[in-house]
A and B are shown apart, each in its own frame.
Chain A
Amino acid sequence: DIVMTQAPLSVSVTPGESASISCRSSKSLLHSNGITYVYWYLQKPGKSPQLLIYRMSNLASGVPDRFSGSGSETDFTLKISRVEAEDVGIYYCGQLLENPPTFGGGTKLELK
């Protein structure tokens, strides 16, 4: 199985500042079709996960453009510009290149 490793475990951010979360995969997530199959999800406290970013850098419907995804074949970054109170929660990266789909352990974002 492809292992997804996230860092840091938690991050504390001042509202209005930026935050970055890293994710590394144990195998390249770049398919021969040119698509990189890494995804980002946010689970707000007490809620279900929601899709933020698909195929490494595409913003999901309804997600503010303060969120952006980037990366290479095995190293990925979620950046949140101008963090707001509603951004608090646990962020997960995931890979859907091959079965089984796997997720990182999560990064908890808190406000200072």
Chain B
Amino acid sequence: EVQLVESGGGLVQPGRSLKLSCAASGFTFSNYYMAWVRQAPTKGLEWVASITNSGGSTYYRDSVKGRFTISRDNAKSTLYLQMDSLRSEDTATYYCTRDGRIAHFDYWGQGVMVTVSS
């Protein structure tokens, strides 16, 4: 059974940093692209970043470029999102999702809440 379990969320002040993790199991992690998608309270879905299966290429939405870094450790089957210089508009539930390349975003984690507030 495919499982994606996020951790690392919480309350953080504007300008500070936070690192999210996503532990994957039930599939060969190193074969899949992965992504982070977020959802602000009562809002819709917003793609944040993606990473290729090897980690050799990464992609970001414009609003997080230069502030967020997506990475992965295939030996640990874990995906990360380092978030620096956080802003109030980054407040959201962050979902880890598998990108099946055919069936994109075919599995999602339970989500982790990030609140940026002073």
Contacts and interface: CB of A to CB of B under 8 A. Distances in A.
A60 B103 CA distance: 7
A110 B47 CA distance: 26
B75 interface: no
Contacts of A54: 102-104, 106
Interface residues of B, number: 21
A103 B102 contact: no
B108 A49 contact: yes
Interface stretch (A23-31, A78-86, A93-101): A93-101
B102 A100 contact: no
Contacts of A92: 44-45
B59 interface: yes
B44 A55 contact: no
Contact of A94 (B45, B61, B110): B45
B89 interface: no
Given A55-B102, A99-B59, A100-B61, A48 B44 contact: no
Nearest to B47: A101
Contacts of A61: 103, 106
Nearest to A6: B44
Contacts of B61: 100
Interface of A: 39, 41, 43, 48-51, 54-55, 58, 60-61, 92, 94, 96, 99-106
